[in-house]
Amino acid sequence: MPISSVPSAIFSQMINTGSVPPPPLRSIPRLKIPKQINYGQLEALYHIRSIHHSWSSCPAVSAHSAIIKQYPNIFLHKKTRLPKILQQEPKRKSSDARAGSQYQSDDSHNIAVHIRKAHGGYALYGTKGSIETFEEFLHILKKQPVKRTTHEHNIVWKTLKTVPDLASQLNDEHLKTLSKKIVSETWVKGSIVFGNDGFYVILKGLARPYTASCENLNEENDLPDSITPQISAVFDESLNTTPPAEIFLPPVASVLTQWSTFGTLEVTPDLELETRPLSVVTEEDCEILKIPAKDYANLKLEKAKLENIQKMKLIRKCPYYEEWPTLSICELTALIKWKKFPAGHVIVESGNIISFVAYINYGYCKIYRTIIGLVKLPSNKVKKTRKLVYMGKLKEKESFGEISVLLQVPFSCTIIAGNDVEMAIIEDKDLFDATNLD
């Protein structure tokens, strides 16, 4: 009996697939044991069930009740933590706080307090923490600078930054360097502190500006620790009587209190004693911080030397200057000024005579060449247009502008700052003045 085509095809397919190896065995994934089930209690529950099946004498009612009673124990319950009850302690006003508030309210009309705040001084009644910090600051200044720790140097530096007269004259770098060398000095009542050799900050005590009238009074009365009001009498011949004497009292605003400053950071020559410039006389024992003018002058000198070395290295690394003599490069460094340009700033425009020679310290500049091209218009006309074509870039330790400045010829390219660029520049007038002197 002939076999139809469909069963024969199925039969041939079965024969062909018989030689195909079975698929590879796959490992059964491990079951994750839930964390919320107590398996010890679950095993005890199963033990109750097995006892009920093995002992027919055990009644079903008692086994059922035992299972129902044991069933909730197989689940683990998370312990809920209740928030702590915060007990608010009653606030009590101390006698010092009440006294401080009373004094502060009494000084609300004291003009000296407002003057001190207007000049950047600290409040008369500070918090306890600020007093402790100030006492620590005084204790640190009594140490020799070499015996201070890094943390103590930072405390001195950060405290001096809060003095407005110092922050306005010294940058952060100079102030940090000087703070590692300064100490405080103790001056007794009636001492004369001359401010010609440094910059002084009063930390404790009171002082007044020193004048020649104060010196005369002190010599006459032989009381160096007190200042007597100056009395002057004016006689008029046309009058039969002498007018009453006029009393000149020093103004209250001239009193130097805590954080007041006097003196100078510039080195000044010794002047005559009669003038007594930049000097004060102490009215009580004072703690005064001194920044010597010579230390500041040495600091500026060291910074100028380091800056000149940096300028010389910059010029030396630029092309065309590698074989220059050191003396010629030193003459150029004396004329250099630092200047910064933001990204996208057009430094030089083609067709103009550049007014300075530039040496790139960091950053880069893009160079563009102006090209005149022809553009075809829809009306079959041609129009001339100017386009900027990118030619390359100037990198660090490269220079430009020498030919345009020396020969006074227009610059052939447009230079745009690619990012924030710092350059050492020499202006053309300074360069020509140095050339004329030579």
Q: How far apart are CA 282 and CA 189, in angstroms?
A: 5
CA 155, distance to chain mean position in Å, is 15
Task: Give whole-number Cα distances, 254 to 106, 187, 194, 250, in Å.
Answer: 23, 19, 17, 7
Contact 356, 426 (CB under 8 A): yes
* Residues shown for the chain: 438
Report the amino acid identity of residue 357.
V
Q: What is the pLDDT of residue 219?
A: 46
365 C-beta neighbours (distance < 10 Å), count: 23
For 285, the enclosing helix (H) or strand (E) is none
Q: What is the pLDDT of residue 249?
A: 37
Q: What is the pLDDT of residue 340?
A: 92
Q: What is the full DSSP assignment across 84-142? A: P-PPPPPP---HHHHHHHHHHHHGGG-HHHHHHHHTTPPPSS--HHHHHHHHHHHHHHT
Closest C-alpha among 332, 340, 339 to residue 311: 332
Q: What is the pLDDT of residue 286?
A: 92
Q: What is the pLDDT of residue 124?
A: 40
Q: What is the pLDDT of residue 386?
A: 82
Question: Low-confidence residues of the chain, pLDDT below 50?
Answer: 95-106, 121-129, 216-253, 272-276
In DSSP terms, 339 is beta-bridged to: 423
Task: Give whole-number Cα distances, 211 to 169, 191, 199, 293, in Å.
Answer: 26, 13, 19, 22
Map residue 233 onto helix, strand or coil. coil
